Structure 1
Amino acid sequence: MNNFSWMNHPAIKNIDARKLAILMDLAKEAEGKSQDKLVPLMVKANAQLKTMNLSFTKEENDLLVDILTQDMSPAEKQKVEMIKRMARTMK
């Protein structure tokens, strides 16, 4: 996942530097990890943000999922999308 092309995404342009640092750390830490290892990484990142009284916007969360799933197979990506839909209905 050394592909940091996501840094060109429009959502990155105005992102808080603290959020960007956490996002970059997460992308590096997620490299080569299986799908089941990604959720704890996302939880960890959100916990870090919370301690700073910050949170990712919906657009930033979508970008985060794109980053974490870029090396996944279509079937794995489909599972992630299903989890996202389930999470939205639980809110």
Structure 2
Amino acid sequence: MKNMSWINHPAMKNIDPRKLAVLVELIGDAEGKPLDKSLPSLMSANAKLKTMGLSFTAEETNLILEILTKDMSPSEKQKFNSMRVMMENVIQKNSKR
């Protein structure tokens, strides 16, 4: 993993150790990869958390996305944000079931 400074972010202060383990794995798998390679890692992390009865908070999610997109070009970031909106809509629909 390139840079672990994100672990000192205030959003990580009281994070559940199980969530932190999933997050470290996610960042390790996805950091610096192009959009099409990082989205599956994010979806896998969310699925893993769901099986544990956990989910990332909005602040944790924003930090994850900041880390994953920091090396992307502006056009890649725009695509990523579009995909994020679609993913959030799907997640909201599934959580209402």
Q: Identify the residue that residue 22 of structure 1 maps to in structure 2.
A: 22
C-alpha contact 2:29 2:38 (8 A) present in aligned 1: no
Deviation at 1:21? 0.7
Q: Identify the residue that residue 80 of structure 1 maps to in structure 2.
A: 80
* Consecutive unaligned residues in structure 1, runs of 5 or more: none
Using the aligned pairs only, state the percent identity. 56
TM-score (norm 1): 0.85
Number of aligned residues: 91
Cα RMSD, aligned residues only:
1.8
Question: Does the C-alpha gap of structure 1 residues 43 and 15 become closer, same or farther in structure 2, counting only changes over 3 Å?
Answer: same
Matched, 1:3 2:3: yes
Deviation at 1:58? 1.0
Distance 1:69 1:38 in 2: 9
Q: Secondary structure at the match of 1:36?
A: helix
Which residue identity does 2:63 align to in structure 1? L
Cα deviation code 1:5-39 (max 9, x no counterpart) = 21121101111111011000111111342210111
* Consecutive unaligned residues in structure 2, runs of 5 or more: 93-97
Query: Which deviates more, 73-82 or 42-51?
Result: 73-82
